[in-house]
């Protein structure tokens, strides 16, 4: 089994037991990495982050990235998680950092940090 490294956005091979302990992080990263409307059975699955590669790095991109992330993660809320809150900030040029606060159905909270490259 493999997990996704959030910094490099690449798979990291791990043991089978360790891979299943981070199932929630994997579900969120997959929703954010899949191109929206690419999967024929569920056209609303995924995000529109791929459209930002050729965009300009302007202040309004923070709000656009936040909206795209909320749109991609909206399908996980009633079935898998109790709530998902997304905060976006830009600390480095050409990159928007997302802080995703996930509340599991059991009430446990976890913060996932994810970055989205903007501008070309």
Give me the CATH number covering residue 88: 3.10.450.40
- Spatial neighbors of 27 by CB under 8 A, at least 6 apart, are 76, 80
In the chain, how many domains are there? 1
* More confidently predicted of 26 and 11: 26
pLDDT reading at 17 higher than 70: no
Report pLDDT digits (tens) over 49-67: 999 988 898 999 999 999 9
- In this prediction, residue 14 carries a pLDDT of 57
Cα three-residue angle 39-44-47, rounded to 5 degrees: 85
What domain range includes position 51?
2-117
Average pLDDT over residues 9-23: 57
**Sorting pLDDT into bands at 50, 70 and 90, what band is 2?**
low
């Amino acid at each position: 089994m493999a997990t996704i490294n959030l910094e490099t956005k690449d798979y990291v091979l791990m043991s089978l037991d360790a891979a299943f302990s981070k199932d929630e992080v994997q579900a969120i990263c997959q929703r954010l990495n899949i191109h929206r409307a690419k999967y024929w059975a569920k056209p609303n699955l995924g995000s529109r982050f791929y459209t930002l590669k050729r965009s300009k790095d302007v202040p309004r991109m923070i709000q656009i990235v936040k909206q795209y992330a909320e749109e991609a993660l909206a399908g996980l809320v009633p079935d898998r998680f109790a709530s998902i809150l997304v905060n976006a900030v830009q600390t480095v040029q050409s990159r928007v950092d997302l802080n995703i606060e996930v509340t599991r159905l059991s009430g446990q909270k976890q913060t996932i940090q994810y970055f989205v490259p903007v501008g070309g």
